[in-house]
Amino acid sequence: MKTELEKCMSGEWFDCHDGIFLEYKNRARELLTQYHALPYNRKTERYNVLKSLLGSIGANVSIGQPFICDYGRHIHIGDNVSVNMNCTFIDCNKIMIGNNVLIASNVQIYTSAHPVELSERLNPDWTPESKQYFCRTFARPVTIEDGCWIGGGVIILPGVTIGGGSVIGAGSVVTKDIPANSLAVGNPCRVIRKINQTD
């Protein structure tokens, strides 16, 4: 029988109030509190907190304050990455960010969602006394490949991969995969042209 964590990571419905997730959240909140208390110029200390918070982190990584994440441990960041202020990463499943990536302010990355149909969304086993959550949740990984630029206010939904070298225009809502070396904008986000690799 699968654990709730195993269900979560395999994209199945899982109980997001299971003890393991509450433990992950509590630890992340403690580390985020430490991170937000550090001044910008204390870069070594800030990096060390991120190293404890995240699943993995490369060299020359900057994450602006404030920063919000769910667990932290499912976020993996490569080298030469800038995440600007006020970003939210809901990392119930993996968020994989490659090398040489720019993420502007107010970007939201979601790996978790709920079924659309109400009959599926509500948990039939829930009671006010139960420790389970009243609705069903699933999570799918998000990948941002090398060399991408994610514009301000972009929302990336569960299961999306953004191909290497692509640019996502400000305010876009990315609902499906974007191929490599593409300029994509809008809600829903769509490719408007290819990007010359020599640019």
Output the 3-class SS for 79-101: CCEEECCCEEEECCCCEEECCCE
Show the tokens assigned to 89.
């990463």
Answer whether residue 5 is part of any domain.
no
Distance between CA atoms of 41 and 36, rounded to whole angstroms?
12
What sections of the chain are H helices per DSSP? 4-9, 19-37, 43-53, 118-121
**Is residue 78 included in any domain, yes or no?**
yes
CA-CA-CA-CA torsion sign (73, 25, 53, 106):
positive
Structural domains in the chain (count): 1
Write down the pLDDT at residue 177. Answer: 98
| Of 11-15, 102-106, 141-145, 178-182, minimum mean pLDDT range | 11-15
Position 6 in a domain: no
Confidence grade of residue 198 (pLDDT, cut at 50, 70, 90): low
pLDDT at 140 over 90: yes
What is each CA distance from 58 to 35, 54, 84, 86, 187, in whole angstroms? 17, 11, 16, 21, 32
pLDDT of residue 180 exceeding 50 = yes
- Per-residue pLDDT, averaged over 156-174, amounts to 98
In a domain, 195, yes or no: no
**CATH code of the domain covering residue 151:** 2.160.10.10
Q: In this model, does residue 7 exceed pLDDT 50?
A: yes
Q: Is 114 a catalytic residue?
A: yes
**Res 129 pLDDT > 90:** no
The pTM assigned to this predicted structure is 0.94
For residue 158, tell me if it sits in a domain: yes
Q: Which of 36, 74, 76, 114 is labelled catalytic?
A: 114
What's the pLDDT tens digit per position in 58-94? 999 999 999 999 999 999 999 999 999 999 999 999 9
| Cα 99 off chain centre by | 16
Q: How confident is the model at residue 120 (pLDDT cuts 50, 70, 90)?
A: confident
Report pLDDT for 199. Answer: 46
Mean pLDDT computed over every residue of the chain: 95
Residue 117 domain boundaries:
11-189
Residue 174 lies in a domain: yes
